[in-house]
Amino acid sequence: MKKTLLLSLFASFGILASAQTDIANARTFGIGQTITVTGIATNGSELGPIRYMQDATAGIAAYGSSLSGVSRGDSITVTGPLIEFSGLLEISPAGTVVNHGPAVNPPAALQIPITAAVEALESQLMQVDNVTFVQTGSFAGTSSTYQVTDGTNTIDVRVNASTNIAGTAIPTGPVTVYGALGQFNANYQMVPRDLNDIVPYIAPSEEINVLIDGVTYLNNSTYFIGNSASAAITIENSGSNPLTVTGATLAGANAGDFGHDIVTGSVAATSNNAYTLTYTASTTGSTFASIAIGSNDSDENPYTIYIEGVGTDNLATEPAANPSALTFPVIEAYAVGGQYTAGSGATNYLVLWKNGSAMTATPADGMSYLRGDIVGDARVAYVGAGTSFTPRGIIANQDYYFAVYAFNGSGGFENYLLTTPLEGNTSSLGEGIASYYTGIDKTAGTFVSDLNGLINPHTEVSYFLYKQTVMNEFEIKDTIGGQSYVTCAMSGEKLIINDPFDWSDAGYSREHTFSHSWMHTFPADTPEEPEYNDQHNLYPANLVQANIPRSNLPMDDIDSTVVFSYLGGSVGYANGQLAYEPRASHKGNAARAVMYMAVTYNFNLDGNVNSTKQSQEVLKDWHFADLPDNYEIARHEYIFNLQGNRNPFIDSTDYACYIDFDALAHIPTGCIVGIGEEYLDANLVVFPVPSNDVVYVQVNGTEITSYSVLDLNGRVVESASGKNLQVLTLHKENLGAGTYLINVETPLGQVQRKMIIQ
């Protein structure tokens, strides 16, 4: 059975868009970035709206209704954003899909042992031989997961209800299972397409498999020996007849540094023979060779493994040049994505990043780094062979600095090119209000209904997709050792996790800030109602220590007995009744979520809250005491991008003054709000700086009522009053080049900033 990695090139279909890349490189792009790849689909409509596709370098899944016309074996070009769906990397939704028709040479299944099911092979067409199903009886009529075993190891088999496998008998003897290599959470799974993908196993006459130090290395794969003097080679034969080994040949630039004891001989059926590969370095830097093992396995003769080592200096060869042309194709309030042109003589890249100022840190030769590791005053944003990166943990209105180093080697033999790294910086965006609130007048008697009509209806995203949306693409952040962490919004707990995130494994849940039982549609999850799904209302929370204790209690400041507490969150008595008090930095966020839900779905607090009444006075106090910070602004912008609607109480903090949330009625007099200068200064955004043409000015959370632009001599060169602007636009043609001071007046106070026009 052929176990050769995909090496042949697929047919070319002309010049593709500049975003075109091979699939292996595309898999290194950050979540949220848009890619364009061409590959061959290995399934059709039998698996629903998903298509597994692969090119000569790797595989990837694509998902969406635009793929409905794609059949198995079609060559397709797909453009769309990357997401991670329960561990499976996908292009979703697949936007532009170009179907080039049936491919001349569709890919054959790559035969692997169960232990070789790894991330690098995800979404490629695979086969596992001589396995048996753990379960007996019949496959269910619904999509279900089963397991097959080789006697020692197991792998999941996902049978979709849309295939003709559903409802049939589960085979009882040894089988071969074909299918795409999928993933669900931490488990890889075979995804068969029809009954032809589960067939009785027929042992081949001779079948070679090669292990090095106990790990299977597929034909044409690469083994990194480092500086080890030797490695154990095991030649297995899973065939029914003896495998004749005819010897092995070393080749390559440094073949003379390697040796072996493989000679002509026989490996009995279902048996193995042990040999040794030796290495004695004679030079410095990286060394390269290959070993080709001859046998009578007709479709894998020779069986070739490429070898990489390091020389007498115990370091790989230093790259000739660092990468160039750093750009930032993704700049949002919640995400920054960079890409660069590959460096000369480099196989890998390390990207460092820092918030606020240029870094002084540099990596150290011989050190292996993982994403999230701390390097001096910087952190690792990316490490790998790709030419793009998207660090996790971006928030709004920040200056981010990056340095990219080319390197070769792995496993403690890394050699970084430390001179002249590729450097650059960019700033994340702030609130993207633009003209969203045009026509909304907080003093009008129709203010509440006008807001309701503006923010509802909106795009609905399922509650059960919250992991794929807000968690994977915003909340999950990097920490050291290649791990991640999630923060419990209510208690402040930072829980260390291994990717991919899973609710059950982490013990977390999606907390409805406006409690589910408060909704007049309760139970609103069968079927899901928009208010149950609304992602503005959902936050990650520790299930046992925060979500369950909060239950549907009103939120308040505890003023007497505390009956339960966990980190920053507590249950206790407030005004004589049980209440939940979240950590201080979440109080404003929670208040704004409840006020948003009240206006969006006409949930007046006096009539809709099914437990003890939620005090609107508490909400307003928390709202003004804990105004939106850059984390909340970034989260808000992400959900706006997702649902298409905004939370008005994040954008305009004084809107809360004009609403009686008990009756959902207008308060024409508003309220007097005192806001500190530090808040206004932190939320004044002037960009770009410097500017060559237009300057945009906004104050997150409020409106600009008047402004004046002064030159450095104190002369007013432009001013206006009586405005109600979410964003102020200034033009070079009116001001001229120079350095200016912009004074901005808001309902919350005055703030000033310098700006430069070139």
In which band, very low, low, confident or very high, does the pLDDT at 739 lie, cut at 50, 70 and 90? confident
Q: Does 652 reside within a domain?
A: yes
What is the number of residues in the chain? 758
Question: Are residues 661 and 682 both part of a single domain?
Answer: no
- Under the banding of pLDDT at 50, 70 and 90, the label for residue 674 is low
Whether residue 369 sits in one domain with residue 298: no
One domain for residues 520 and 607: yes
Which residues, in sequence order, are CB contacts of 310 under 8 Å at separation 6+? 226, 227, 281, 285, 286, 287, 316, 409, 413
The answer to whether residues 293 and 406 belong to one domain is no
pLDDT at 112 over 80: yes
Give domain status of residue 51, yes or no.
Answer: yes
Q: Let me know the angle formed at the C-alpha of 80 by 75 and 81, rounded to the nearest 5 degrees.
A: 135
527: preceding bond cis by omega (within 30 degrees): yes
Instruction: Express each pLDDT in 167-209 by its tens digit.
Output: 999 999 999 999 999 999 889 999 999 999 999 999 999 999 9
Last residue of a domain, one of 371, 394, 427: 427
| Residue 545 sits in the same domain as residue 627 | yes
- Decide: 336 and 390 in contact? Cβ < 8 Å: yes
DSSP string covering 63-101: ESGGGTT--TTEEEEEEEEEEEETTEEEE-S---EEEEE
Say how many C-beta atoms besides its own lie within 10 A of residue 252's C-beta.
Answer: 16
pLDDT in the model for residue 610:
84
Cβ neighbours of 661 (radius 10 Å): 23
Check: CB of residue 588 under 8 Å from CB of residue 628: yes
Query: Tell me: the pLDDT tens digits for 527-572?
Result: 999 999 999 999 999 999 999 999 999 999 999 899 999 999 999 9
Asked if 459 and 571 sit in the same domain, the reply is yes
Long-range contacts formed by 361-367: CB under 8 A, 24+ apart: 362/405, 362/416, 362/418, 362/421, 363/405, 363/407, 363/414, 363/416, 363/418, 364/416, 365/315, 365/414, 365/415, 365/416, 365/418, 366/314, 366/315, 366/412, 366/413, 366/414, 366/415, 367/412, 367/414
How confident is the prediction for the chain on average, in pLDDT? Answer: 93
Residues 501 and 593 in one domain: yes
Higher pLDDT, 260 or 85: 260
| Residue 689 clears pLDDT 90, i.e. is over it | no
Q: Which of 71, 102, 133 corresponds to the end of one domain?
A: 102
Q: What share of the chain is helix, strand, coil (3-state, %, to 5)?
A: 20, 40, 45
Domain span at residue 188?
110-200
Angle, vertex CA 678, rays to CA 677 and CA 680, nearest 5: 65
Long-range contacts of range 244-249, CB-CB < 8 Å, 24 or more positions apart? Answer: 244/206, 244/295, 244/296, 245/273, 245/293, 245/294, 245/295, 246/294, 246/295, 246/296, 247/293, 247/294, 248/291, 248/292, 248/293, 248/294, 249/291, 249/292, 249/294, 249/302
In this structure, the answer to whether residues 503 and 649 fall within a common structural domain is yes
Under the banding of pLDDT at 50, 70 and 90, the label for residue 326 is very high
pLDDT for the residue numbered 18:
36
What b/e sequence results for 164-190 when a residue is b if at least 16 CB atoms lie within 10 Å of its CB, and e otherwise?
Answer: ebbeeebbeebbbbbbbbbbbeebbbb
Please report whether residue 671 resides in a domain.
Answer: no
Compute how many other C-beta atoms are within 10 angstroms of the C-beta atom of residue 581.
26
CATH number of the domain within which 75 lies: 2.40.50.200
Query: So what's the pLDDT on residue 32?
Result: 77
Peptide bond into 192 cis (omega under 30): no
Q: Which CATH number belongs to the domain containing residue 125 in this structure?
A: 2.40.50.140
Q: Given the structure tokens 């404003």, which residue do they identify?
A: 588
Is 83's pLDDT higher than 90?
A: no
Instruction: Tell me, yes or no, whether 488 lies in a domain.
Output: yes
Q: Are 516 and 631 contained in the same domain?
A: yes
Residue 7 within any structural domain of the chain: no
Q: What is the pLDDT of residue 59?
A: 97
**What CATH number does the domain containing 716 carry?**
2.60.40.3080
Does residue 723 share a domain with residue 686? yes
Whether 709 maps to a domain, the answer reads yes
Residue 149 lies in a domain: yes
How many domains does the chain fold into?
6
- Give the per-residue SS3 of 116-171: HCCHHHCCCEEEEEEEEECCCCECCCCCEEEEEECCCCEEEEEECCCCCCCCCECC
Q: Tell me: do 196 and 212 sit in the same domain.
A: no
| 410 lies in some domain | yes
- The residue out of 102, 126, 158 marking a domain boundary is 102
Neighbours of 334 (CB within 10 A): 24
Q: How confident is the model at residue 2 (pLDDT cuts 50, 70, 90)?
A: very low
Chain-centroid distance of CA 117 in Å reads: 21
Residues 624 and 747 in one domain: no
Token pair recorded at residue 399: 């200056």
- Domain at 396, CATH number: 2.60.40.10
